[in-house]
Structure 1
Amino acid sequence: MSKHANPDADILQEIQLTSEVRGRSLWQNAVSRFFRNKAAVAGLVVLIFVCLFALFGGLIAQYEPDYVDFSLMGANSYMGTPSLENGHYFGVDYDGRDLFARTVMGTRISLLVGIVGALVAVIVGTLYGATAGYIGGKTDGIMMRTVDILMSIPFMFVLILMLVIFGRSMFMLFLGIGLISWLDMSRIARGQTLSIKNKEFVEAAIATGVRPLTIIVRHIVPNLLGIVIVYSTLLVPQMIIFESFISYLGLGIQEPNTSLGALINQGSEQLNNGTMWMLGYPLAFFLITLFAFFFVGDGLRDALDPKDR
């Protein structure tokens, strides 16, 4: 009797073996490439630690951020050195407030400003750039010339002017940073849209009568997701730097709230008093947060780069 007397069984076996060898999607390849980047993984771990510190650090703080120890105020603040015994893990600031609790609050607000500002910039910039690139023609020319004009205006001057005119509130800080930082994103989205709008799936959507707005939202924008994710991770530290600079000038987050920029400003004023911890701890969290975002963004850029696949 022949060895292959049952061809149906052989066919079923081949199908089973073929199904076991599954292909990997581009996103799975990107994830694999990202986790092979040691610097990016280290940045992600550090970033998770910073986020956990910002969210839950207040649970282990012995004092509230606005609690004042009157015995450690002013000239006596040099006595409030970092100590586990008295509960001031990072020491106290010049006003006698627990620096650990203040650093937790400052990290939380700085991350919030960076993430919300980047989110606003990415959403506005992506939709604006995708619309300009897809419509094209005179509309594209007018929209992008408007972007060029806005980019010629000093960003920091406009932000400071907004805070002075409309008030120094956290909402205005979010709005000002986000709505002015979308310009670069719009140019990136437009350039990518110009190369996407002539693809077959877009032409098929047009042929079936899909409205332009639906094509932009459901077909163009999802294909910009890779570049948007990468730019977002690189935009967040930029937003944090802007907020820190504004707070350093005294126009950002106002008391009793604080941010890392405000804490760095207060700590730098006390360097001559031998209270290095007032500057050291906020500055350390500021730097490791920025480097973590930069490493993660760089890893995502390498993982999602189609030329390296």
Structure 2
Amino acid sequence: MFPEKATIDGITEAADLAAVQGRSLWQDARIRFFRNKAAVASLVVLILIAIFAFFGGFIAQYERDFVDFSLMGRNQTEGVPSIATGHYFGTDNSGRDLYARTVQGTRISLLVGVVGAGVAVIVGTLYGAIAGYFGGRLDGIMMRTVDVLMSIPFMFVLILMLVIFGRSILMLFIGIGLISWLDMARIARGQTLTIKNKEFVEAAVATGVAPMKIILRHIVPNLLGIVIVYATLLIPGMIITESFISFLGLGVQEPNTSLGALISAGAGQMQYGVIWQLLFPLFFFVVTLFAFFFVGDGLRDALDPKDR
């Protein structure tokens, strides 16, 4: 009886071990990510926020630049949130529907974060992979250039770009993205120094594959894990930077808006007892940041090969 039970337990353990060994790294990472309840809940929240940002305007009864002249005035408290009037989040001090403006502000802030992080990841990954793969003098020159650029105040350069080339959403995309790739370049370079000595890279070199083809087809795909994690943690930083710039009045300009601009406008109305102009955009701002942070932490734990 006992030998049979031991045999059954051994077969079960062997089957479980075979199932684990048969899974790829991405399959294993996906399973471990979905076991992280905080990360999964944050992912659901991000999906809901994205739906609100890109499709929430369809249920708005007023356009974002609609002006209700009966509610204009800095000390107006009549424009409170109300479903009956169609102003779900109330109105701002200019009589504009705050719900429609929050939808647009959330959409622009998400786009700035995602596009800016995408630019930073693409530029930084390619730059760091090239420097790490070729090494030698080229690596020294490229990384010393990164060190010099990192010594320049980031916010000063961004504000200078917006003042010189104009304050627009496009300049925010370019300015934030092209300045934020420096950390990604150093991370990619360090990982490339390890990967380039692997057997599959040496086999590609031995068969005469061009260096840039090796970088794009063999090294960069093996950097995807850390790149994805860094991108999810970089997006909140991009959103914070854009919000700070807009809070100073140098970011998105009227009639467009962002969460930072809405928070700035709402903060100026608190002295008149109007708090909903601050609370609604601040809520979406805080929830979005925390959701990205939790998703990034979940991906970092799931893609860590040491925990596999």
Shorter-chain TM range is over 0.9
| Inter-partner Cα distance in structure 2 for 1:194 and 1:82 | 56
User: Which residue of 2 is the match for residue 221 of structure 1?
Assistant: 220
Alignment of 1:57-206 (within 5 A): 57-75=56-74, 77-206=76-205
Q: Which runs of 5+ in 1 are unaligned?
A: 1-17
Report the residue type matching 1:111 in the other structure: L
User: Which residue of 1 is the match for residue 41 of structure 2?
Assistant: 42
Alpha-carbon contact 1:77-1:95 (below 8 Å) kept: no
Q: Deviations over 1:112-158 (max 9, x none)?
A: 00000000000000000000000000100100000000000000000
Report the residue type matching 1:25 in the other structure: S
Alpha-carbon contact 1:122-1:228 (below 8 Å) kept: yes
| Inter-partner Cα distance in structure 1 for 2:76 and 2:128 | 52
Alpha-carbon contact 1:268-1:279 (below 8 Å) kept: yes
Alpha-carbon contact 1:132-1:143 (below 8 Å) kept: yes
Identity %: 77
| Inter-partner Cα distance in structure 2 for 1:49 and 1:91 | 21
Alpha-carbon contact 1:83-1:91 (below 8 Å) kept: yes
The CA RMSD measured in Å over matched residues stands at 0.9
CA shift in 2, pair 1:36/1:215, >3 Å: same
| Inter-partner Cα distance in structure 2 for 1:243 and 1:76 | 29
User: Which residue of 1 is the match for residue 238 of structure 2?
Assistant: 239
| Inter-partner Cα distance in structure 1 for 2:234 and 2:168 | 22
| Inter-partner Cα distance in structure 1 for 2:193 and 2:263 | 44
Q: 1:75 Cα shift?
A: 3.6
| Inter-partner Cα distance in structure 2 for 1:211 and 1:74 | 67
Q: 1:78 Cα shift?
A: 1.3
- What is the SS of the residue equivalent to 2:203? helix
Q: 1:169 Cα shift?
A: 1.1
Alpha-carbon contact 1:106-1:263 (below 8 Å) kept: yes
TM-score by length of 1: 0.93
Q: 1:77 Cα shift?
A: 3.0
| Inter-partner Cα distance in structure 2 for 1:74 and 1:243 | 28
Q: Deviations over 1:206-227 (max 9, x none)?
A: 0000000000000000000000
| Inter-partner Cα distance in structure 2 for 1:94 and 1:248 | 17
Report the residue type matching 1:60 in the other structure: I
Alpha-carbon contact 1:110-1:260 (below 8 Å) kept: yes
Number of positions where the alignment pairs a residue of Structure 1 with one of Structure 2: 290
| Inter-partner Cα distance in structure 2 for 1:62 and 1:251 | 30
Q: Deviations over 1:75-100 (max 9, x none)?
A: 45311000000000000011110000
Q: Which runs of 5+ in 2 are unaligned?
A: 1-14
1:289 and 2:288 matched: yes
- What is the SS of the residue equivalent to 2:77? helix
Alpha-carbon contact 1:166-1:172 (below 8 Å) kept: yes
User: Which residue of 2 is the match for residue 5 of structure 1?
Assistant: none
| Inter-partner Cα distance in structure 2 for 1:113 and 1:200 | 39
Q: 1:102 Cα shift?
A: 0.3
User: Which residue of 1 is the match for residue 270 of structure 2?
Assistant: 271
Alpha-carbon contact 2:113-2:235 (below 8 Å) kept: yes
